[in-house]
């Protein structure tokens, strides 16, 4: 009597990935779970022709081993006896010009050919029609280049569809911007350029609809392919990237998910090794085939000369797209000098109530631009005993910001969910509201546009009533555009002496440098919120004069108002403020010490 085949045991964690990627070794830490399935799929995949490559070689003739490793991992995870795929979700993060769209076409054609289910649905989901065309074109060309495939598969160009003549299964390439994603029953889904979905509001629900068919198709899979974003990762892209990094690093135990992530080891990022042409291969495993060091060097040179082309308009974008250097606090060479140390200063939780309870004195900073900007409030408390600076921040934004800055709408929604951003509804809730207010055509503007100001003042009243503000110079304000806040504070009984105009620009040099040193020394603590991390990453530090510095933002959509408010508050804290005489007595906290004395 034959013994049952033991169930495979595997892990998708790859904790030694940094050594592997530098040594050019495979990033797949496990052998195919079912070698027969992997080999059968590789036979199909390797026979497909890359029509857009000189000589039209097959994948088997012109691919680097990493491609075969990925294909074997995907198709080798299928248990044919049980009709179930044991690893069902995959992510490939790879630099641009490494054949990603061609690989996508080959994988999905292989799935179409290997599929046994009649009338099955397979889909490549692209964020735009242009990307959809990039995915469909290679797939259709592969079919037309092979007489045997032409007899089995039928290409319908105007529908971006390839149909299997025997099983009736269909592979469709769908552009998300055409609104045709809903109701998909696809059991095999490949999502191309995930970073672009990260910019879309509602992308999570869209992908959930697109992948819903897997619930009744246990043999199916979902594959995400992407380069890095041209801005800080956000939305569904950030969520997936963080998750698959956790799986790779072993901090998340999920053997049903696997990520092949071509990115830089931490020490190489810190050393800026990505600028060394001899190291370009780290995130470009197809170096020498579809990519070359000279091409990347040219891209870098052009952007440094201000001659960027094809949307590659900044050094950050070129590094992100062609070298997979994530845009954020560690990428910008002109970032705030404290940005690298900001994450290490985070503590698990630091609410407003926590700050009030732990501080002996508190100062505030307020900064905000126009109505299509954020209004930022930052409190800095000096901690009892340790004297560390405790930082708490909140921001308010009018609904028109979501209309004016659609590229950051999804990011702002995340901050609203986090509780660090309050969305204020514009009167009338239409795109012309801002223009009417700006032009003085809204008679009720003064009454209606105070939700954010009231929010700021309510917090300041709470701190004052706790007796934590100093008697003077307690609230620092950017001198520009603060009249409404000053008026509201006066109505709440704040005296003029409690408010101080904080000079901006290079005059903030001392606190900009000083707070960077406090971050490095970890004598500053903050709540580690996503909003402040994003704003810190948006800072650009520029030299002023012989030793001065100033901060600006990286772009119009890169909001920094809460951090600017932090520096204003920092200026006041450097004055060594003392709590008001009306503040709480030490005896309220520890009680009166009673001593018994025996008289002789």
Q: Does 248 lie in the same domain as 349?
A: no
Supply 539's token pair. 């800072």
In the three-class reduction of DSSP (H, G, I as helix; E, B as strand; rest coil), residue 69 is classed as helix
Q: Could you give the CA distance from residue 212 to residue 182 in angstroms, rounded to a whole number? A: 10
Instruction: Specify the pLDDT at position 449.
Output: 59
pLDDT digits (tens, 9 = 90+) for 400-439: 998 888 878 888 998 999 999 999 987 765 545 545 544 4
Q: Are 475 and 486 in contact (CB under 8 A)?
A: no
User: What are the residue ranges in the chain where pLDDT is below 70?
Assistant: 1-5, 178-184, 328-334, 369, 428-449, 481, 546-547, 554-556, 581-600
Give helix then strand counts, H and E, for the chain.
24, 19
Q: How many residues are present in the chain?
A: 600
Distance, CA of 44 to CA of 107 (rounded, Å): 10
d(CA 417, CA 408): 14
- Look at residues 160, 154, 83 and name the one whose alpha carbon lies nearest to residue 126: 160
Same domain, 257 and 379: no
334 domain residue, yes or no: no
- Give the Cα separation of 381 and 363 in Å (integer): 7
Same domain for 255 and 348? no
Phi, psi of 10 (to 5 degrees): -155, 165
Angle made by CA atoms 222, 196, 190, in degrees to the nearest 5: 20
Which helix (H) or strand (E) element contains residue 223?
strand 221-226
What's the number of domains the chain is made of? 2
Beta bridge partners of 390: 381, 525
- Are residues 364 and 449 located together in one domain of the fold? yes
Burial profile 149-168: b = 16 or more Cβ within 10 angstroms, e = fewer: beeebebeeeebbbbbeebe
- The residue written with tokens 């594959």 in the block is 223
Output the pTM of the full model.
0.71
Residues 436-462 have pLDDT tens digits of 544 444 444 444 558 899 999 999 999
Is 587 inside a domain boundary? no
Based on the domain organization, do 222 and 365 belong to the same domain? no
Q: Confirm if 319 and 331 have CB atoms less than 8 A apart.
A: yes
The answer for residues whose C-beta is within 8 angstroms of residue 521's C-beta and 6 or more apart is none
Q: Residue 180 in 3-state DSSP?
A: coil
Q: Which two tokens stand for residue 441?
A: 């055509």
Contact 361, 473 (CB under 8 A): no
Q: Is residue 598 part of a domain?
A: no
227: tokens are: 């380069």
Residues 319 and 317: their CA atoms lie apart, in Å, by 5
Give 447's contacts (C-beta < 8 A, 6+ positions apart). Answer: none
The answer to the question of residue 57 being in a domain is yes
Q: Last residue of a domain, which of 244, 270, 296?
A: 270
Decide if 275 is inside a domain.
no
Q: What angle do CA 533, 538, 540 make, to 5 degrees?
A: 125
70: Cα separation from own chain's centroid:
25
Residue 155 phi/psi, 5-degree rounding, is -95, 130
Residues 242 and 355 in one domain: no
In a domain, 589, yes or no: no
CA dihedral 282, 285, 287, 290 (to 10 degrees): -140
Dump the DSSP string for 200-252: STTHHHHHHHHTGGGGG-TT-EEEEEE---SSS--HHHHHHHHHHHHHHHTSS
Cα–Cα distance, 363 to 474 (Å, whole number): 5
- Both 437 and 535 in one domain: the answer is yes
| Cα dist from 337 to 1, 340, 398, 539, whole Å | 70, 7, 31, 10
Domain boundary among the residues 236, 270, 304 is at 270
Which of 270, 305, 330 is a domain's end point? Answer: 270
Do the beta carbons of residue 282 and residue 262 sit within 8 Å?
Answer: yes
What pLDDT score was predicted for residue 600? 46
Query: Domain containing 370: what range?
Result: 339-573
Pairing between β-strand 548-553 and β-strand 539-544 as defined by DSSP bridges: antiparallel
Which stretches of 280-358 are assigned E, i.e. beta strand? none
Give the C-alpha separation, 107 to 113, whole Å: 10
- Given the structure tokens 């004297």, which residue do they identify? 387
Tokens coding 145: 């280049």
Phi, psi of 115 (to 5 degrees): -65, 140
Q: Are residues 233 and 347 part of one domain?
A: no
From first CA to last CA, the distance across the chain in angstroms is 99
The pairing of beta strand 389-398 with beta strand 374-383 = antiparallel
Residues 376 and 253 in one domain: no
Q: Which two three-digit tokens encode residue 72?
A: 């074997």
**Is residue 3 a part of any domain in this protein?**
no
The whole-number pLDDT of residue 310 equals 75
Q: Are 372 and 401 in contact (CB under 8 A)?
A: yes
| 553 shares its domain with 468 | yes
Measure Cα distances from 268 to 264, 275, 438 in Å: 6, 10, 49
Residue 375: inside a domain, yes or no? yes
Shared domain check, 447 and 343 = yes
Q: Any idea what the CATH number is for the domain that residue 372 is in?
A: 3.30.420.240
For position 116, which CATH number holds?
A: 3.40.50.300
Query: What is the rounded distance in angstroms from the CA atom of residue 222 to the CA atom of residue 191?
Result: 8
One domain, residues 357 and 240? no
Alpha carbon distances (Å) from 188 to 68, 116, 128, 169: 19, 12, 20, 11
């Amino acid at each position: 009597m034959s013994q049952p085949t033991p169930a495979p045991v595997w892990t998708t964690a790859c904790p030694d990935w940094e050594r592997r990627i530098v040594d050019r070794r495979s990033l797949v830490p496990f052998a195919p779970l079912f070698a027969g399935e992997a080999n059968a799929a590789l036979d199909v995949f390797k026979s497909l022709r890359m029509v857009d490559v000189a000589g039209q070689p097959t994948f088997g003739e012109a691919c680097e081993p990493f491609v075969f490793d990925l294909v074997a991992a995907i198709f080798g995870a299928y248990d044919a006896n049980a009709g179930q795929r044991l690893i069902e979700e995959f992510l490939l993060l790879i630099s641009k010009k490494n054949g990603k769209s061609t690989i996508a076409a080959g994988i999905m054609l292989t799935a179409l050919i290997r599929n046994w289910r009649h009338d099955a649905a397979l889909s490549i989901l692209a964020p735009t029609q242009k990307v959809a065309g990039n995915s469909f074109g290679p797939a259709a060309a592969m079919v037309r280049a092979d007489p045997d495939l032409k007899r089995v598969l039928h290409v319908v160009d105007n529908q971006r569809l390839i149909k299997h003549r025997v099983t009736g299964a269909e592979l469709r390439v769908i552009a998300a911007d055409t609104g045709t994603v809903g109701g998909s029953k696809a059991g095999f889904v490949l999502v191309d350029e995930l970073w672009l979905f990260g910019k879309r509001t509602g992308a999570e629900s869209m992908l959930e609809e697109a992948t819903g068919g897997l619930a009744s198709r246990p043999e199916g899979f979902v594959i995400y392919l992407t380069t890095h974003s041209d801005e800080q990762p956000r939305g569904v892209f950030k969520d997936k990237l963080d998750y698959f990094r956790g799986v790779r690093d072993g901090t998340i135990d999920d053997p049903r998910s696997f990520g092949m992530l071509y990115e830089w080891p931490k020490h190489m990022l810190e050393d800026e090794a990505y600028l060394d042409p001899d190291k370009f291969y780290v995130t470009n495993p197809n170096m020498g085939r579809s990519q070359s060091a000279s091409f990347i060097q040219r891209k870098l040179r052009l952007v440094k000369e201000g001659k960027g082309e094809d949307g590659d308009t900044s050094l950050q974008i070129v590094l992100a797209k062609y070298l997979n250097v994530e845009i954020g606090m560690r990428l910008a060479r002109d970032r705030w000098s404290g940005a690298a140390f900001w994450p290490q200063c985070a503590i698990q939780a630091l609410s407003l109530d926590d700050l009030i309870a732990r501080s002996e004195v508190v100062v505030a900073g307020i900064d905000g631009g126009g109505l299509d900007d954020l209004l930022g409030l930052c409190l800095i408390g000096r901690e009892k005993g340790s004297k560390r600076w405790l930082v708490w921040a909140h921001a308010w934004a009018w609904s028109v910001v979501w209309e004016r800055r659609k590229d950051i709408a999804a990011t702002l929604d995340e901050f609203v969910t986090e509780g660090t951003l309050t969305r204020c509804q514009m009167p009338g809730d239409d795109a012309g509201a801002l223009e009417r207010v700006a032009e003085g055509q809204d008679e009720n503007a003064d009454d209606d546009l105070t939700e954010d100001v009231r929010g700021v003042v309510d917090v300041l009243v709470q701190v004052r009533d706790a007796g934590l503000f100093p008697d003077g110079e307690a609230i620092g304000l950017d001198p520009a555009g603060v009249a409404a806040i000053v008026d509201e504070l006066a109505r709440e009984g704040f005296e003029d002496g409690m408010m101080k105009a904080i000079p901006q620009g290079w005059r903030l040099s001392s606190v900009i440098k000083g707070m960077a040193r406090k971050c490095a020394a970890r004598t500053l603590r903050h709540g580690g919120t996503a909003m402040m991390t994003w704003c810190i990453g948006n800072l650009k530090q520029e030299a002023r004069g012989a030793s001065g510095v100033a901060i600006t933002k990286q772009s119009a959509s890169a909001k920094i108002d809460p951090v600017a408010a932090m520096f204003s508050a920092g200026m006041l804290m450097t004055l060594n403020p003392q709590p008001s005489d009306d503040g709480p007595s030490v005896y309220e906290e520890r009680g009166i010490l009673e001593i018994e004395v025996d008289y002789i």
